[in-house]
Chains A and B, each alone.
Chain A
Amino acid sequence: MMNTAAKNDSSYVYNQRVKRKNMISAAIRYLVLIVVGIFMIYPLVWMVGATFKPNSEIFSGLNIIPKNPTTQGYIDAVKSYGGNINIWKALLNTFTIVIPKVIFTVVSATLTAYGFGRFNFVGKKFLYPIMISTLFLPQVVLNVPQYILYNKLGWVGSPLYLPLIVPSLFACDTYFIFMLVQFLHNVPKELEEAAKIDGCNVMQTLIKVVVPMLMPAIVSCALFQFMWSSNDFMGPLLYVNTPAKYPASYFVKLSMDSDAGFSWNRVLATSLISIIPSIVIFFMAQDQFVDGISAGGVKG
């Protein structure tokens, strides 16, 4: 009798101790997350604040909220530097590149992934490893010869952005094929077989059965391609040479070169405007980004 009471007592003490210990470690975890989180987010929040500050205030303190709020930065940011280009036009140019690129990538990558993921054909044993190995083919070794190729084709400086868009018609971003093939492996084949029995040909099966099931992965591909292509700097640097055709990424770099040092609120406002589409897309589709990146990575 005594014995059990003592035991209960000690287990109560033990539980209390465990509870306290858990609470302390949870507190430490939160502390780490918050401190690191501040480092992650503070620069971005500061940037937003700085766009509303007068130039004299931007580098005169660590505060985020402007003491003398002004929209002068934005007023200057939307003004042209001359040369028939401003930030709105540059953003429009970005979309002119990115939207076709996204559509072409999604279509070509889906076709390729369907071909590799669902069929056996002559040469697949040879071509599939080649496709995978291009995943590891660094772009740095392709930049120069691709430039020479596009130069020979007369595509450099093309008003239709041919060097930036055409390769996406041919599924040149292997990463997306890989992502879709991985996803396809986890999709059961039964529905496709049923569709075949119902008399669908392969193309109908693809459009009516496979694409709907692949949709989450396709959306992820589209989102990533949107982000990466909007951020792309080297492509426009090499292949766009008329100011009126500059996309936002290149325009922001030029704006920094001409204004940094005396008009930081203009430069930062221009920068911020240039990433607003990406920010909006990110917050609309956060989960797809996370799912997409985990699916692509883990199965690899």
Chain B
Amino acid sequence: MFKRIDRNSLLFFGVTIGFFVVVQVLILVGVLTPFYETLLRLGAVYAIVSLGLNMIYGFNGQFSLGQWGFYAIGAYTAADITFRWTNQASTAGLTVLLFIVLLVGAAILILYKLLGRLRGLDALSAFTVYLLAAFGLAVVGVKIGQVVAIPLNSVLAALPAGIATTIVYVLAVIIGALIAAEVSFLFGLPVLTLGSDYFGIATLGFTIIVKVLLDNSDTLLGFEEMKGARGMIGIPKVTTWFWVFLFLMIVIVVVRNLLHSSYGRAIVSVREDEIAAKAMGIDVGHYKTLTFVLGSFFAGLAGALYAHINGFLHPDMFNFIKSFDPMIIVVFGGLGSVTGTVFAAFVWPLVLEGLLRQILPPGFETWRYVVYPLLLLIMMLLKPNGLFGNFEVPYLRQVLPALRKKISTERSQAPSAPAVKEVNG
């Protein structure tokens, strides 16, 4: 068991856990002011959503501006669940959404298997089937959820308040992420068939739709607690440094493991050359969908975590202008570099909100939106590959397997191999 843990992983986890402990201690001692602690938590949240985008844009080559929409979905979903629990002592939000997520998720998985076997089914009719199934099961989920909520309520009420809230919070975060993933699947079905630029515009449209829906969430959608354009208040502020760090670590490990597997290579092959990937037996549509759903899952996760940092959500936070933030982070850090993305995501709030606020004299805060685009411009001119280019820290780097020594036997099997004749040096 211990043999499998190599030095690089040990070093990586040692350093990151050390970083976590140091920050945690500094927070407890009071050296790190709540202001900077919030910036660190924000950095981790940005890192999660940007890693999702890097999967989609950096590794799969799909230019998506929709991540902010999925971020918003995750945020509002999770906030709704915890809001109902803390303010109304009701788990109805939790159970209803849980059953919707589970039922719709199961339906999507089953339908995906079944419809995949049909020959020549076009994307739009498949989309209709999925959408009907999703709506039907959502109604069923609401019914089941309302029934289950009552016994669950009494179970959670019996637990100590802190533990119950934590359970609800963690479930809310996961449900928020899953809802975002499922919505992204449904949205991606027709849209992922578009070419890269058109896909970008379509996803931008998605972000705008989500923002407008949230503006009218109380009147149009009927969620009174979301308060529409007035902003949602009263969300418990339970996202601590521990939680964001835990989820960030899970996301990094998942992304790293996935990229270093055959599935990761399949994802990257789609970016490199779609036609060649198809000719190599890679189901391009499947991997586009997979990456898009996974990236949106991360976006939803980040949004759900974000909702519980300030305890306040406003549709303007999910404006499409902001949807360029993760894009800038990814490009700044280096397309296709996990290290760069995480680094840039932490630098982003620290520089923009922290340092520039401190450096610039009072009253000049607005100038930071001049300073940072300038920095971005300079960097694009000097280092167009991003801050880190293709660099990865050793744990995240793909190791080239050692050469094998069976070559001599291979040659003897095929003595006349013409490939041996070197044409070029």
A binds B: no
Residues of A near any B CB (own CB < 8 A):
none
**What is the interface of chain B, defined by CB distance below 8 A to chain A?**
none
